[in-house]
Structure 1
């Protein structure tokens, strides 16, 4: 290739170098095809701990991105042209160079639409009954890793409901995620992460669909589930995730936390996560509470004595009071709170999602109302105790 083309190629390679430095965690692969007449010579580069393992001419060398670009530029002098495909999670860049011209453009990651059906009670329902956020085709690797999709690329019949649930989860968060800072890496903390399926889904959506820079931290007291999550992240190539086997009460972040998530944390574990979110001044707190045992054994309210003698009604009232008082206390700390249905109540009565967005200063008057309410109910909520005794 002539000097003019190589000079322009070097400018594009500098752009790739800057991109790798900024987006290292989502880099996947770089492939280079050098051409001379009808002959082509291919090199493939894959990520290796801040560097790239580049296989070319039968040898694999570990190079930093700058040295790789020097190699590409020197090799280009020997050939008539080249084609580079630089792959990141959710986006590909194509550079083509010859003696006549040098061009660079973004390549769309193709979406493959697959219409699958599932039979239940002799009725057929089609997967394509909604515009999915987590799309079959683009998200196949993720869906296979979390067990929604079979190895041959079909959504499993017994996982259709789960697939719809995780997609609806993303839909509910979509309306609030845009309120997060646009020019920062979004740090997301998953409290009691378990196997982190929904966090992996959110990672995919933010990184590969919304093109947002993000970093995930999963906390769980079980070392086994942490090892399982680490393995899944490794399989998917999700390097923007860390997992820690630790009690939530013992975790102190070393960076700004933008989002705190708690999904199906049992009883007061939800309160622990909410308290952590408030303590670190998280911009957004998302909680899907599970069982509610604490308040049921505590509260009483004389005007409702004739109603609360029925055990089922007292339990349901305890659920409402627990999440209502959680929301009330969040509001007193300056959060704008909404309580929405996460999934259909036909699937589980524990179907609420609490979404809290930090929008204003603390509200002392509301805090006093909260304190009056717990006194009137003879309640001693863990969320209040965690916030004041942590």
Structure 2
């Protein structure tokens, strides 16, 4: 029996003997974008034993559950077809590592057991939160928690939103440059829920030195948030009164955030981030009026005009075209873009989150992008995109 077959047989045996603790797959060389690792562990779902597979991507986890026979087939496919080159079986007696060499030969070795047998296989566990749920001054001052650390019933949606926001950003924040002080600007900070949470996560969880500035037009909210920051002893967090257009960073930017900046204000925020060399730009756009007005005025004839005569479809299409062009323009300036679903609030339950990570600029790719932008504008009857003008894209 070769090493690979021995390894699969060992997995099967450990499951049958109930010695299987977990399995990890790594060194991925497949085609699935952003997939990094897969972790497998036994779980108990509705009194039935399953094997839970957690597919860990750069910015999210996807979980799939299989019975033992299907799980073994899945593992074999992941190793033989999908591109994982290292697998480690953790059992009660040993760690067994199976690895594919550069010559395409599976090797196998054993190490001393290191995994701890779980106390329970129950699958229904409370979802962990990046911010935890211990009492913190700012959470009490913002009326999210009481003094005992219990989230108020009417604040549950906001609490989920904050944690979802940090969950999405966590991997990207950890990849930021390891300089002494991280400089972050939150444009249109509002009451500061997400601004405070971001500062708390950077300083309290990642142990980074950070300066976070919340820019907000309403002076009463600026005063309130600064008071809460002082009470919370968040020395690196402060809020300033002003607009996106008027604010000019005093230090090199690492992160620029603008959530729910209306219509072209989102473009202003993106431009501010690009022109100041931000390593990470995060925007949640809303009110896509500028492109919609362009599309409605010119009424371009194309294969989609049967849809766009309906107002609701025109609105949705304008949103996608607006944000699609924003992503293209960001890519033109060397940003790798991603689009996520972002949980907002009870009035607008789901939003699009557009994220750009600064990479290198490829001149050939820039020309391809310019061609794509021009073709998209012509197809939908768009004379200009506001972000295009702000950045003088030609």
User: TM-score, with normalisation over the residues of structure 1?
Assistant: 0.63
- Say yes or no: does 1:280 pair with 2:276: yes
How far apart, in 2, do the equivalents of 1:190 and 1:335 lie? 19
Alignment match, 1:237: 233
Deviates more, 1:290-299 or 1:340-349: 340-349
Q: Is the 8 A contact 1:270 1:287 kept in 2?
A: yes
How far apart, in 2, do the equivalents of 1:135 and 1:145 lie? 17
- Alpha-carbon distance, 1:382 to partner: 1.4
Q: Is the 8 A contact 1:278 1:333 kept in 2?
A: yes
Residue deviations 1:238-269 (CA, integer Å, cap 9, x gap)? 11023221222222222110000001111111
- Alignment root-mean-square deviation, CA: 2.2
Gaps spanning 5+ residues in structure 2: where? 1-123
Alignment match, 1:370: 373
Residue deviations 1:157-187 (CA, integer Å, cap 9, x gap)? 1111211110011000012112211133110
Alignment match, 1:10: none
Alignment match, 1:227: 223
Alignment match, 2:386: 382
1:142-221 to structure 2, matched below 5 A, reads: 142-221=138-217
Q: Is the 8 A contact 2:183 2:211 kept in 1?
A: yes
Distance change >3 Å, CA 347–CA 192, structure 1 → 2: closer
- Please, which of 130, 134, 143 is the counterpart of residue 131 of structure 2? 134
- Alpha-carbon distance, 1:144 to partner: 1.0
Name the SS for the 1:294 alignment partner. Answer: helix
How far apart, in 1, do the equivalents of 2:255 and 2:318 lie? 27
- Say yes or no: does 1:307 pair with 2:307: yes
Q: Is the 8 A contact 1:290 1:350 kept in 2?
A: no
How far apart, in 2, do the equivalents of 1:158 and 1:384 lie? 41
Q: Is the 8 A contact 2:138 2:228 kept in 1?
A: no
- Alpha-carbon distance, 1:349 to partner: 6.0
How far apart, in 2, do the equivalents of 1:189 and 1:345 lie? 22
- Alpha-carbon distance, 1:150 to partner: 1.9
How far apart, in 2, do the equivalents of 1:297 and 1:310 lie? 14
Q: Is the 8 A contact 1:345 1:351 kept in 2?
A: no
How far apart, in 1, do the equivalents of 2:251 and 2:371 lie? 32
How far apart, in 2, do the equivalents of 1:155 and 1:345 lie? 16
How far apart, in 2, do the equivalents of 1:189 and 1:271 lie? 15
Alignment match, 1:320: 320
User: TM-score, with normalisation over the residues of structure 2?
Assistant: 0.63
How far apart, in 2, do the equivalents of 1:143 and 1:349 lie? 22
Residue deviations 1:309-343 (CA, integer Å, cap 9, x gap)? 11111111111111111111111110000001112
Q: Is the 8 A contact 1:292 1:322 kept in 2?
A: yes
How many equivalent pairs are there?
Answer: 262
How far apart, in 2, do the equivalents of 1:344 and 1:350 lie? 5
Distance change >3 Å, CA 154–CA 345, structure 1 → 2: closer
Alignment match, 2:286: 290
Distance change >3 Å, CA 183–CA 344, structure 1 → 2: closer
Distance change >3 Å, CA 255–CA 222, structure 1 → 2: same
- Alpha-carbon distance, 1:188 to partner: 0.2
- Alpha-carbon distance, 1:308 to partner: 0.8
Gaps spanning 5+ residues in structure 1: where? 1-125
Q: Is the 8 A contact 1:207 1:214 kept in 2?
A: yes
